Amino acid sequence: MQMTRREWLTMWGVAAGDVHEEIRRLAGQVPLSMQFRGRTAAECRRWQRAFAAKLGELLGPYQPPQRFETIRERVVDLEDHRREELVLRAEGHRDLPVHLLTPRAEFSGKRAGILALHGHGEFGHDAVAGIATTPERRQNIAGAHYDYGLELVRRGYVVAAPCFTPFGRRLGDAKAYGGQDPCGVTFVRMQLLGKVLMAENLRDALWALELLARHEKVDGSRLGCVGLSYGGRMTMLAAALEPRIRVAVISGALNVMQERIMGRYGCGAQVIPGLLKFGDVPEIASLIAPRPCLFEVGNQDTLMVKEWIGPALDRIRRAYPAFGALDKLEVDVFVGRHQWNGVRAYPLLEKVLNT
C-alpha cells in the first residue's frame, strides 16, 4: 500500500524525533518529586531543610566572599540622597558594581536596608537607582516604573543595587554577540567551566546584601529585598536561601519554569540545571515561609500565563498555613503590564522593617 506524502512526513517526523515536541511532552511529565505536602510547622521545616539542600546542590557554590574591598568610583550628591557608585572586589571573583543609595536627611540611630535587584535590560542596575540621563533611559524607567531603588531611598532606606551578569556594564560589547541572547550564550560558556549563571548572580546579590549588613548606617537585623522581572526571580531565590532577608517583594515573576520550557525558551540567566526533577518556582518561594512575601502581578502582564498562576500560588500556600502564617503571603493583582507597582509593597516594607 502506497503512503501519501503527508503520511510519509508524519511518520518521518515521529521517527526523527521533533525535539520541540519531545521537550513539551517531557515538560508535562516532570517529576517535581520534592513538593511539600505536609501540614505542620515541623514537617515544613524538615522539608525546607531538605529542599534547600537539594537546591544548593543544583546551584553549586553561591556564597559571597567574606573578605572584600570596597572601591568608591564616584559619589553623586543629589537633593535628597547620595549615590555612591561602588565596585566590590575580592580575590577569585569578578568585580561587582553596586549603587549604594543613602538618604541625606538627618536620622538618629540606624536605618533598615533594602537590596533592590534589576531585571533584563541594557541599563542594568542604573535604572533601579533612577539614573535617567538620556531619553532612552527615561523611557526604560517610565515603562516599567523601574526606579524603585530611588523611591526606596526617598522613603528612608539605605539601598544597595548590584549589577547582574550579563547586563549593564557587565555585558561588555553587546554587538559582539551577533544578535544572540547574551543570557543563553553566557550560560552555555559558564556551564563548560562548571558554573551556573544564576548561582553567580545569587552570589552577587548576597554580596551586596553583605555590604548593606555591614554598613555603619544600617541595622543588619532589618533587611529586605525587592525586584522586578528577573530581579523578582532573584529576590525569590535570595530570600529563599538567606534568612536575614526579613521581607521579599517579588514583582513580575510568578511564572514557573515548567510552563516556560513548553515554548522555545532560552534565558540561561534563569536556569538551574535539573531543577524540575525536584521542584520549581513555587517550591523555591515556599522556602521563604513564614517570612512576609508579596507577589506583584500585573493583570496585563503577557509574560505570565494566567492559567499557571493559580496552581503556582496553591503550591506556595501549602507552606504558609503550616506555620499559621497564611496572612504573611500576599498577592497584589494590579491594573498594569510587566512593571513594578509598589502600592502594597511600600506599606508592607514599612510595617516589617520600621515598626
Averaged confidence pLDDT in the chain: 94
Residue 2: pLDDT band with limits 50, 70, 90: low
Residue 146 has pLDDT above 50, yes or no: yes
In a domain, 263, yes or no: yes
Q: Which positions ≥6 away from 289 have C-beta within 8 Å?
A: 44, 48, 316, 319, 320, 322, 323, 325, 328, 329
Check whether 237 has a pLDDT greater than 70: yes
Count of beta carbons in the 10 Å neighbourhood of residue 203:
18
pTM confidence score: 0.94
Beta strands at 158-162 and 96-103: parallel, antiparallel or unpaired: antiparallel
CA 167 to chain centroid: 14
For 20-53, the pLDDT digits (tens) are: 999 999 999 999 999 999 999 999 999 999 999 9
183 inside domain = yes
How does residue 342 score in pLDDT terms, banded at 50, 70 and 90? Answer: very high
Instruction: Tell me whether residue 61 is in a domain.
Output: yes
Query: Residue 310's domain spans which residues?
Result: 51-354
Does 143 reside within a domain? yes
The pLDDT confidence band at residue 205, using thresholds 50, 70 and 90, is very high
Q: What HEC string does the chain produce?
A: CCCCHHHHHHHHHHHHCCHHHHHHHHHCCCCCCCCCCCCCHHHHHHHHHHHHHHHHHHHCCCCCCCCCEEEEEEEEECCCEEEEEEEEECCCCCCEEEEEEEECCCCCCCEEEEEEECCCCCCCHHHHCCCCCCHHHHHHHHHHCCCHHHHHHHCCCEEEEECCCCCHHHCCCHHHHCCCCHHHHHHHHHHCCCCCHHHHHHHHHHHHHHHHHHCCCEEEEEEEEEEECHHHHHHHHHHHHCCCEEEEEEECCCCCHHHHCCCCCCCHHHCCCCHHHCCCHHHHHHCCCCCCEEEEEECCCCCCCHHHHHHHHHHHHHHHHHCCCHHHEEEEEECCCCCCCCCCHHHHHHHHHHC
The Cα 259–Cα 264 span in angstroms is 11
Domain containing 312 — which CATH number? 3.40.50.1820
Convert the pLDDT of each residue in 243-259 to its tens digit: 999 999 999 999 999 99
Q: Give the pLDDT mean for 133-154.
A: 96
Dihedral in degrees, nearest 10, Cα atoms 76, 220, 154, 152: 110
Contact partners, residue 312, CB within 8 Å, separation at least 6: 254, 255, 256, 280, 281, 282
Instruction: Report if residue 8 sits inside a domain.
Output: no
- pLDDT at res. 355: 82
Q: Cβ distance 202 to 333 under 8 Å? A: no
Q: Is residue 241 part of a domain?
A: yes
Structural contact between residues 316 and 239, judged by C-beta atoms closer than 8 angstroms = no
Give the chain's domain count. Answer: 1
Does residue 256 form part of some domain? yes
Task: Please indicate, yes or no, if residue 3 is contained in any of the structural domains.
Answer: no
pLDDT the model gives residue 284 = 98
